[in-house]
Amino acid sequence: MKKFFTNLFIFMVTLTAPAFGNTYIRFEISFKEPQAHYAEIKMEVSGLKKDFIDVKMPVWTPGSYLVREYAKHVEGVAAHDASGNSLEVGKINKNTWRVASGKSDRVVINYRIYGFEVSVRTNFIDDSHAFLSPAATFLYVDGMLDHPAEISVVPHPAWSSVSTGLEPVAGKPNTFEAADFDLLFDSPIEVGNQDIITFEAAGVHHEIAMVGGGNYNKERLIRDCSTIVEECTRVFGVNPNKRYVFIVHNYQSGGGGLEHLNSTVLGASRNGYQNERSYVGFLGLVAHEYFHLWHVKRLRPIELGPFNYDTENYTRSLWIMEGFTAYFDNLILRRSGFLTESAYLQALVNDVNAVENRAGNRIQSAAQASFDAWIKYYRPDENSANTSVSYYNKGALLALILDLRILEATNGTKRLDDVLKAAYQTFYVEKKRGFREPELQQLMEEVAGTSLADIFQAAHTTEPIDYNRYLNAVGYELVDYHEDRNIPELGFATSVNDGRIMVSAVSRGTGAWDGGINVRDEVIAINGERLDAGGKELNRVMQTAAVGDVLQVLVSRDGRLRELTITLRQETKGAFNIMPLSGATEEQERLGNIWLSQPQQ
């Protein structure tokens, strides 16, 4: 990491609203101590002339359904008027400050923010660059989310580039504008020495801001990202953007992504671009987040916008938004030629494993998982696998069977692509609002020409899905190699910590669950035989065990020895595979070819 220069790094943001009466808002952000991960912010509010002004910090950012309490990183809030006279500031709740403005025409508010969390949804500031997640950076005036914004960036001389999806203002270098704070909060900003790669695809200008270096090949990156852009655009038939920005943070080991209206932030491994598996995984992330520019950012459940930045914004439809996107990201890779047929089917198998081998799939529905994302998905614990299911994986499988059902019902003339294209036109373009789930179901049924009620019901229940009902129609089948095999299941997983074998998970419905094995138990011996740290003895026990065998397990729990009795039960987890259906008809094979092949240009 380069040694930080002594010059003051000032990042100035100006938010003005010439068409919003006489009011405007201006921010000036300076990085006096970037090595300590701080930014100093001056916020100027003019033209309100009120007794007091309430300014607020969002508690979450759209696309990441967790209250993150960004206000916890705000400190030193103070204010003065145009003459420099101090104004009283009081915090009235966790994310709101009240400024006694006394009808002043101009109020200046100063505060600091701390940012040192590596993620796609939080601020990160150090001596090499600044990544600003706007919801974690900018206060807004209560009741003025619809205020226009102008943002001017003055980089430090040692930093040369500004990357953001905000629209540039003509004639003003490094100056951008936003129609309102919703757009501002949806437009992350990267300032530093990022490598900026540009390309044109689907009639849209694209920029890739590569932060942190990496062993990427620019020509290949342009070619492959262009292909993904074209394939995603083909699904919806139109690309609504003029410009789109990928901000890619390259770390020693990185991942994750967050969608925005005309940009995205991705995490990647800087040395993973020359590894084919890692690179295809990165392309899958590109496909996923790019698909979201239609599916979430524009076509969305009615509950997700306009946003309330003070609290959770609940919806039961994340299985549609994230799940469908998780289905299409791999399908886009298949259509683009980045996944072979077998690799694509394996990706589907991975989703089946993630859902069907998770006990929580029988406890929580996909719709419930969507609603409880705020308290469960982003806050997993040792029992999460027993109580919850991922709306990503389960939603992807529901999208799969919807796609296959539509293919079957229309003799291959329609599929899920056509539904999303119609929904985008109906709700985003024509009605200019989000959809209600029954409305989307009705539209899907109109496209398919058949009822899809059973699949939508499956999203709201924990009943098993008959995957082969849908896969067989296109000439494939899901097989479970563990079916009808009398395989014993231990029921708990272990990890080695300082040479000790520690229980890391216990599966619901197993002998270990009933026998009282706990997470954080140290497993010392089984049936009187001490276990080695490498787990060889444990493996030997299971290799010779049978369903119904009784194990005496000696554990240390909180420093005390306990012997627990476990009766081994039959394996509850499947060993799945998707393969061609033996004896498939020509019609089944034809539909299968449509499903797995690239659509007609």
What does the pLDDT look like over 124-155, one tens digit per residue? 999 999 999 999 999 999 999 999 878 887 77
Stretch among 247-251, 534-538, 564-568, 583-587 having the lowest mean pLDDT: 534-538
Sheet containing 149-152, strands listed edge to edge, beginning at the edge strand earlier in sequence: 149-152, 175-178, 167-168
CA distance 132 to 574: 44
Report pLDDT for 538.
84
Report pLDDT for 29.
80
> Strand 550-557 to strand 529-530: parallel, antiparallel, or no bridges (unpaired)?
unpaired
* Rounded alpha-carbon distances, angstroms, from residue 75 to 78, 111, 114, 132, 310: 9, 6, 8, 17, 19
What does the pLDDT look like over 389-436, one tens digit per residue? 999 999 999 999 999 999 999 999 999 999 999 999 999 999 999 999
Three-state SS annotation for 456-519: HHHHCCCCCCCHHHHHHHHCEEEEECCCCCCCEECCEEEEEECCEEEEEEECCCCHHHHHCCCC
Provide the sign of the torsion angle of the four alpha carbons 379, 384, 385, 388, taken in this order: negative
Report pLDDT for 105.
95
* Rounded alpha-carbon distances, angstroms, from residue 56 to 40, 107, 136, 349, 556: 17, 15, 11, 45, 50
Q: Which two tokens stand for residue 187?
A: 């437009």
pLDDT band at 72; cut points 50, 70, 90: very high
CA distance 467 to 349: 11
Report pLDDT for 599.
56
**Counting beta carbons within 10 angstroms of the beta carbon of residue 498, is it exposed (0 to 12), middle (13 to 18) or buried (19 or more)?**
exposed
What does the pLDDT look like over 498-508, one tens digit per residue? 989 999 999 99
pLDDT band at 39; cut points 50, 70, 90: confident
> Strand 161-164 to strand 86-87: parallel, antiparallel, or no bridges (unpaired)?
unpaired
pLDDT band at 190; cut points 50, 70, 90: very high
What angle do helix axes 318-336 and 416-423 make, rounded to 10 degrees?
Answer: 120
Stretch among 87-91, 148-152, 458-462, 546-550 having the lowest mean pLDDT: 148-152
Q: Which residues fall within 8 angstroms of residue 135, CB to CB, at 6 or more apart?
A: 58, 60, 61, 62, 70, 185, 309
Q: What is the DSSP track for 297-363?
A: TTB-BTTSSS--TTS----S-HHHHHHHHHHHHHHHHHHHTSS-HHHHHHHHHHHHHHHHT-GGGGT
CA distance 109 to 113: 13
CA distance 282 to 262: 19
pLDDT at 18 over 70: no
CA distance 136 to 117: 11
Spell out the long-range contacts of 449-457 with Cβ–Cβ below 8 A and sequence spacing 24 or more: 449/409, 449/410, 450/405, 450/409, 452/402, 452/405, 455/398, 455/401, 455/402, 455/405
Which among 412, 380, 407, 331 is positioned nearest to 596, based on CA atoms?
Answer: 331
pLDDT band at 59; cut points 50, 70, 90: very high
Contact 161, 198 (CB under 8 A): no
pLDDT at 8 over 60: no
pLDDT at 20 over 80: no
Stretch among 251-255, 310-314, 359-363 having the lowest mean pLDDT: 251-255
* Rounded alpha-carbon distances, angstroms, from residue 282 to 41, 286, 351: 35, 6, 18
What does the pLDDT look like over 565-580, one tens digit per residue? 999 999 989 999 999 9
Of all residues in the chain, the percent with pLDDT exceeding 90 is 86
Report pLDDT for 264.
98
The SS3 of residue 205 is: strand
CA distance 337 to 341: 9
Contact 30, 2 (CB under 8 A): no
What does the pLDDT look like over 318-330, one tens digit per residue? 999 999 999 999 9
pLDDT band at 541; cut points 50, 70, 90: confident
Q: What is the overall mean pLDDT for the chain? A: 93
pLDDT band at 259; cut points 50, 70, 90: very high
What residue has token string 């992807």?
Answer: 396
CA distance 171 to 187: 21
Report pLDDT for 372.
98
CA distance 29 to 589: 60
Whole-model pTM over 0.85: yes
Indicate the Cα dihedral angle 302, 308, 309, 310, nearest 10°: -140
Report pLDDT for 194.
97
Report pLDDT for 598.
65
Contact 163, 39 (CB under 8 A): no
CA distance 276 to 287: 16
Question: Count of residues for the chain?
Answer: 601
CA distance 249 to 213: 9
pLDDT at 17 over 60: no
